[in-house]
Structure 1
């Protein structure tokens, strides 16, 4: 099998598996229990929080664990909104956010909150001037993703964060696709909170986290919650936390090397697709500083993306037609609606996403099959 759907999920690494097994054997106690075994489990969790906090420039007491990226987004946004809703009845997000973020803002909209959706340009990028234009005196929350999961564009989070900070507007960013792949720093980003997920960086599924800045004001959304300072109820998943931390450390240590490798793989793959000529459309940013290389959004004139996915699957090549969170729905994702004018264009889209385990030979073979399928489909 050739797996090219890393933006959906990644295989768990051996180092993460090993520490997960070890933690299950030696630190299985409830970390909230007062006996010695519980205390040891809690100490291990505190060590993990300290290590994770150091990766993004926050303090360990501002790290909170969740069941994944979706819950991280929702809890972060609900906690921030509850703390700041008295400031106004207007919020800002973008047209191309993850479904979990769109769901939260849709709920606010149905409750009478005024929601502004920032548009994107043809490359899927947000213009800072559009954000400035939409900002109002009664704006009480903003959320803009860092890296898009379908076309890999990197939004200007630092510039946006500086603008929101100047106006006293709490700012959240979905960093699920960027964490462990490009450097993150809450201080330089001027963000109040970011959300991340374990399974995107070779950690276990079912683990995520929210990082708050030191001056961020948030409020518990679940009454009588005592776990994690009231952020999220429930016994902490100690083995999952430790395995997640191991995966995050591994990713951070090789972040520069992995980025360089990803650019080499991207250039190789796109060069191999060159025979398609003008039929091939490459989505995303043209400036390397605004593009995550490991996510490639593609379209081929005359070929539906779903047909390409199914055809490649016959050769045991795994790709995607977009976000896995949208895969069971027939309507186009917010990203497709934002960058494509017609339904025909949206249907052409498919995504290649790779990781540190991807080999050059995998991409060469995949490119050959894509060309073969495209030519046969004419």
Structure 2
């Protein structure tokens, strides 16, 4: 099986796996325990915290380890709400946010909060003017995803954050798809909270990071929690965090070379689809506002699920959207947020490249998609005759 679903999850990096094993056997103590084994684990944990602080160029005191991106999103937003700096009950978010944010917003609505969901333009971007228009005197928090996991667009989070600062609004951003793929230091310094997930950059599953600016006096979600300074309960996964840190270091060391390689693969796919030009749509933005490794697209007249199953039959693993959305009958959130409806919306599928993707496989996938589209066109013409 040739894997083209890196936006869903990545294989564990071999070096990170070795560190996980070593940390599991040599640093097995509970980081809260006061004996020598506990202190060794605590020291390793704090060195990992320092490293993420360095990579993001944020204050170490604001770095908290979580069980993944979804928990980091949830707890990060809840922490900001507990530390809001002005009165109000209005929140702003994107209409295509990850389910961990979208479902939390729906929960907050049921509790009496008012939420505005910003749509995406045809290029998959939130219009800054639309955001500014949505801001009200009682707006207290904004949560906008940095990188869209379905079509790979990069939202103008820094520009939105600047406006939030001027209005005394707290801002959270979901950086699960962008950490380790593009530099985040200046963005991280411009927001009040952000979230990342280890398995998106070749770290182990079940690991993540939430950053909440230490200037904010947030309250623990569960009263009495002692782990991670009260941010979350449960014994800290020190081996997983050590492995995630190693994966993050490697991802950061190769950001520029990986960006160039992924752009080459994206171009190769487009060239491979030249034969059916006009029979497909690729959703997204201009190059500087787009993650090159995520290609959200559709073949005219075909359901995305059928394309995915056909590709699977040919030995290619692609997807019809985020893994958290799989199995639902509703179209991908990005399609709905862009105003694309009905059969056209259900035609969406996603291809995503990664570290082990080679150009030959990309070209072969392009040929398979061409074959699928051509067969369908032939059947359609025969039906018309």
Tell me, yes or no, whether TM beats 0.5. yes
Q: In structure 1, how many angstroms separate the alpha carbons of the residues matched to 2:121 and 2:76?
A: 27
2:371 corresponds in structure 1 to 372
Q: TM-score, normalised by structure 2?
A: 0.96
2:383 corresponds in structure 1 to none
The 5 Å alignment of 1:200-239 reads 200-239=200-239
2:148 corresponds in structure 1 to 148
1:361 corresponds in structure 2 to 360
SS in 1 for 2:367: helix
Q: In structure 2, how many angstroms separate the alpha carbons of the residues matched to 1:186 and 1:207?
A: 23
The 5 Å alignment of 1:133-172 reads 133-172=133-172
Q: In structure 2, how many angstroms separate the alpha carbons of the residues matched to 1:78 and 1:154?
A: 24
Q: In structure 1, how many angstroms separate the alpha carbons of the residues matched to 2:364 and 2:266?
A: 14
CA 1:97–1:126 in 2, change beyond 3 Å: closer, same or farther? Answer: same
Q: Compute the displacement of 1:341 (Å).
A: 3.0
CA 1:44–1:208 in 2, change beyond 3 Å: closer, same or farther? Answer: same
Q: Compute the displacement of 1:355 (Å).
A: 0.8
Segment of structure 1 superposing worse, 111-120 or 147-156: 111-120
The 5 Å alignment of 1:72-151 reads 72-84=72-84, 87-151=87-151
1:276 corresponds in structure 2 to 276
SS in 2 for 1:21: helix
Unaligned stretches of 5+ in structure 1?
none
Q: Compute the displacement of 1:213 (Å).
A: 2.6
SS in 1 for 2:25: helix
Q: Compute the displacement of 1:189 (Å).
A: 5.3
User: What is the aligned length?
Assistant: 377
Segment of structure 1 superposing worse, 339-348 or 80-89: 80-89
Q: In structure 2, how many angstroms separate the alpha carbons of the residues matched to 1:120 and 1:339?
A: 5
1:68 corresponds in structure 2 to 68
Tell whether the 8 Å contact from 2:78 to 2:221 is kept in structure 1 after alignment: yes
Q: In structure 1, how many angstroms separate the alpha carbons of the residues matched to 2:369 and 2:332?
A: 23
Q: Compute the displacement of 1:218 (Å).
A: 2.1
Tell whether the 8 Å contact from 2:279 to 2:373 is kept in structure 1 after alignment: no
1:337 corresponds in structure 2 to 336
Tell whether the 8 Å contact from 1:58 to 1:214 is kept in structure 2 after alignment: no
Unaligned stretches of 5+ in structure 2?
378-385
Q: Does 1:308 align with 2:293?
A: no
Q: Which digits, 9 at most, give the CA deviation of each residue in 1:302-334, with x for residues without a partner?
A: 221111100110122100011110002111232
Q: Does 1:196 align with 2:162?
A: no
Tell whether the 8 Å contact from 2:58 to 2:188 is kept in structure 1 after alignment: no
Tell whether the 8 Å contact from 1:58 to 1:212 is kept in structure 2 after alignment: no
Q: In structure 2, how many angstroms separate the alpha carbons of the residues matched to 1:36 and 1:84?
A: 39
Q: In structure 2, how many angstroms separate the alpha carbons of the residues matched to 1:203 and 1:369?
A: 31
Tell whether the 8 Å contact from 1:20 to 1:242 is kept in structure 2 after alignment: yes
Tell whether the 8 Å contact from 1:176 to 1:196 is kept in structure 2 after alignment: yes
Q: TM-score, normalised by structure 1?
A: 0.97
Tell whether the 8 Å contact from 2:119 to 2:338 is kept in structure 1 after alignment: no
Q: In structure 1, how many angstroms separate the alpha carbons of the residues matched to 2:217 and 2:69?
A: 21
Dislocated runs of 4+, deviation >4 Å: 186-189
Tell whether the 8 Å contact from 2:86 to 2:168 is kept in structure 1 after alignment: no
2:240 corresponds in structure 1 to 240
Q: In structure 2, how many angstroms separate the alpha carbons of the residues matched to 1:334 and 1:104?
A: 15
1:297 corresponds in structure 2 to 296
SS in 1 for 2:178: coil
